[in-house]
Chains A and B, each alone.
Chain A
Amino acid sequence: MTQNSSALENSVLLPSDVARLAVTGVRARPLRAVLSALGIAIGIAAMLAVVGISASSQKRVNDQIADLGTNLLRVEAEKNLFGEQTELPPETVGKVRFLNGVEAAGSVAELPTLRVYRSELIDPSATGGIQVSAADLDLLDVTRTELKAGAWLNPAIATFPTTVLGATAAERLGVVSPGAQVRLGGRSFTVVGILANSPLAPELDTTALIGGPAAAEFFGWQGNPSTVYVRLAEDDFDHVRLLLPATVAPQSPSATSVSRPSDALAAKAAVDQAFTGLLVGLGGIALLVGGIGVANTMIISVIERRREVGLRRALGATKAHIRLQFLAEALVLSAFGGIIGVVLGFTVTIVIAPMNGWPVVMPPFAVAAGLVATLVIGAVAGLYPAARAAQIPPTTALSG
């Protein structure tokens, strides 16, 4: 160093030294660092877990909708203007199939007077909420419902006292495999198949389905369907949809309702989204509280380290160097919390999503936003303590 007093170079703190000071400053008080970083970590973890779980469930719903198709319509007979329940004519399905743009159609006819029980010994009032319906043989293909076990009805067995149970119906009846006997409308029916859950026709889950010929033979069913499921070509969807009421019930088109079951799934997903927004907001509050924790820790640290600051000023640190050091410490502290939070958030998502049978999805944008939020919070939390540290007078080195 030159002894020439005329030229005086400025104090310099190298960037690498700022980083080193910040890390050693945080590491010097490990327990305190972990506790204050924990606040940030919990905030970030909560937000990411909520976003991750929601994105995973969303992905699953979207996959499901894509799988099941959005081109299914459900046509039902409603009450007419005079409040009487209308019926669809027996030839409804046949007429619908003749429409241009209809790819497939299937129907069920609810048989409201019939009940199904595990055996004749069951109390007749314990119906289990299970309804009995006569099913069209195309029903399964049109609604894209899967079979969990056994077989679907075919023209041969549809004439016999046989039934295919919906997923929930089978559960409530205690039927785990085909071949079991159940009491249906006072007769013994053999269970030939059990359906999986039907996302587009959830009413099938609580239904015992029997063949149309059997319904006619044993219970005098006239062949009037109650609900018709129609699969349309995507291109013709909008205009065929308008034609359906008049086609199925020319005499009372206003008494038929046409709905799109996939809309219900999408709406359910949208509700989940709104709920997600709320939870992310709660996570944000946790993050804010975490930031206050970091600010608090830094303020205490500044108060405790007055002598260190005084020493640094005596060694030649400028106010800006002191400010920088404490700001960098706050950033390291919150970044530490942020990284722990991201790891926790991922872990929660990776554990929860497969438990619900969802694919694991974590939007990269959410991770980036979380980390940026962490750094912003760290900077804001560090500003005031850093400014306070910079104001500590150099004479503190001597006076303690």
Chain B
Amino acid sequence: MRARLLAVLALLVLAAGAIVLTPRVRECPRAAPLDGLSTILAGWTDADGIPDEALPVDPSEVAAVRRTYRSGPRVAWISVALFTRQDDPQRRASINRIYAEQDVSRVERATLPAAGARPNAVVVSRRDRRVVVAYWYQIGSRTYASETRFRLALMREILLARRGDSLLARVAVPVDPDGVAASLASAAELAAALRVALLAGPGC
């Protein structure tokens, strides 16, 4: 009995030591991955600023690029936000701020008409307007659509590399009279160009 109690104590001390003595995570230089994001993406050109109600600001983001892109009559909004030191849960992107949630009557999962890596896509119905929102996460040179896979990858990154940085990229396209399919196609086109631009960026 006494030997077993001592064994339990030893295991507890080992666990406490592992928690206390592990070095803290390193922080990505602010805004480094967002530097130089092109103002022209696959024929879409930008104008600064987007309405908050289209893509809400997350108070945990340490840097962000938020732009309106236009291509002929089509309009789209993008937001790319950097989150650092996410071993602290308070510094993570909130899933409540991916899209505006107030007065939303319906959120429907959608699939973007794109080959290869597909981001998450939802059609958000809010009062008499609808918006397609596509979003994904990026850690280093890898992108993740699944929240679960992203969290697992972030855990691995924090544990093994002691880094806790990621980007949350979002593209919002208002649903036009041509229907959801046209808006999904626009979102897919801009999301693919944005993904390539972010992967080619300087990273952390």
A binds B: no
Chain B interfacial positions (CB closer than 8 Å to A)? none
